[in-house]
Chain A
Amino acid sequence: MKVTRRQFFKICTASLGGSSLALMGYAPTEALAEIRNFKLERTTETRNTCPYCSVGCGLLMYSMGDKAKNAKSTIIHIEGDPDHPVNRGTLCPKGAGLLDFVHSPSRLKYPEVREAGTSEWKRISWDDAFTRIAKLMKADRDSNFVAKTADGLTVNRWLSTGFLAASASSNESGYLTQKIVRNLGILAFDNQARV
């Protein structure tokens, strides 16, 4: 095959053009193979108990940052606590999804009251809430407490109010709750294991 001077220049220009394009980054680059960064590397680990049921599984909550002054922490991951004797690291589907429970927009973070005749929930302080609950309990107990039945039997019971307590309580706080509730004469009492 004979190549003329003009054809030779054409070939040279085409090859130079092609290799320049490749150099300028039009060629596929070697991609790095990397696994996703481990997201708990420098997070703060906090132990807690799952709030759902009375099994009381141990949790590890991981929050962003190292608690430095200018860093705002937020919980980014929750998993089971392997050192907890109850669950030894495992969780149920509800417990495994606790992160979305923590960040839920409908999560209750402070006491609220809905006054009779309104549909609005109003935020109140803890002090106001405790005072209000105590007042209402006392009023109800004063009017509905049954000391003796019709035939003279001492019963000391208060049937018109019930009490729901948290399931994530320790034995000690459970004991105290039981004492207070029974001292008041309340019969309807439950820890929210089935909520």
Chain B
Amino acid sequence: MALQSLDILRRSATTTPSPGVRQTTEVAKLIDVSKCIGCKACQSACMEWNDIRDEIGSNAGIYDNPRDLSADSWTVMRFSEVEVEKDKLEWLIRKDGCMHCADPGCLKACPAPGAIIQYSNGIVDFHEENCIGCGYCIAGCPFNVPRISKKDNKAYKCTLCSDRVGVGMEPACIKSCPTGALVFGTKEDMIQHAEERIVDLKERGFSNAGLYDPQGVGGTHVMYVLHHADQPELYHGLPKDPSISPMVTLWKGITKPLMSLGIGLGVLVGFFHYIKVGPNEVEEESESEQQ
């Protein structure tokens, strides 16, 4: 049923270390954008499995539907029309959603204990019952993925179908993909699969084909095979070198403990001052003297 505490790598806002004796297999989702036809079967399957139904939106003249990720749409196909070379239009389609970073910015930024969990298989999961809806995870995410629900003020995003992976199944999106653009397995196998695809793409004239597994966030458990790996920005602004915002690192790294210590000391000093010295009362004599 549930993953046991041994399989938890990190919890948000928790300083006690997680048990780390067992070695579980790291999993990864590989998205081969060169095979994707933008059919959105993954979007459909995601909604169905996770029991989320977004509101019916409106057509904005492009294929993106819904227009953006939301608390009810955890994955969205992004369609970009770009001229990589002059007079050579390319239609680049990218499945957007949580990247399941090895060093998750959302988890680092989260102040609610246990609201964000990283399992040792690499999945970063939100536990909405512990979420306080502050939105720090959005600020901490280098890929702009989490969304706060207007219904319950809690943050939602892709879980990599942790409930399916937990019983040995692949995520719903992976299973549905009719072209095989989505593949799931151990991270090691996925890297190998990607390398084979890259060789193939290079033979077909995409000399800059490569794997997107950004090391700025410690690598990700959702990786892309891109035909233009030198310019990931072409794919609806996929960051070239993503990293956790320095504000988050600074706040969680040094500032917060120092500030907490300062506040604690302030309270303590105030308390003892009140007990020992008491409130500063002006005597009637001195007040009349002043006048």
Q: Residues on A close to B: CB < 8 A?
A: 1, 3, 7, 10-11, 14, 28, 30-39, 77-80, 87, 89-97, 99-100
> Mostly helix, strand, loop or mixed at chain A's interface?
loop
Number of interface residues of B (CB under 8 A): 41
B49 CB–A CB distance under 8 Å: yes
**Most chain B Cβ neighbours within 10 Å, of A10, A28, A89, A96:** A96
Q: Is the CB of A92 within 8 A of B39?
A: yes
Q: Which residues of A contact B117 (CB under 8 A)?
A: 33
Inter-chain contact count A-B, CB under 8 Å? 96
Which 4 pairs show the lowest CB-CB distances between chains A and B?
A31-B114, A96-B44, A96-B45, A34-B2
- Residue in chain A with minimal CB distance to B1: A37
**Interface digits, B162-196 against A, CB 8 Å rule (1 contact, 0 not)?**
11101100001001111010000000000000000
Cα A79 to Cα B44 in complex, Å, equals 11
Cα A14 to Cα B267 in complex, Å, equals 13
Q: Is the CB of A79 within 8 A of B162?
A: no
B229 CB–A CB distance under 8 Å: no
- Residue in chain B with minimal CB distance to A33: B117
22 A-B pairs with C-beta separation under 8 A: A3-B275, A3-B276, A7-B275, A11-B275, A33-B8, A33-B114, A33-B117, A33-B127, A34-B3, A34-B127, A35-B2, A35-B166, A79-B49, A79-B176, A90-B41, A90-B175, A90-B178, A91-B45, A91-B178, A93-B40, A96-B42, A96-B44
Partner among B42, B53, B130 whose Cβ is within 8 Å of the Cβ of A31:
B130
CB distance from B98 to the nearest CB of A (A): 15
CB distance from A66 to the nearest CB of B (A): 18
Cα A48 to Cα B41 in complex, Å, equals 19
B70 CB–A CB distance under 8 Å: no
Q: Which residues of B contact A92 (CB under 8 A)?
A: 39, 41, 178
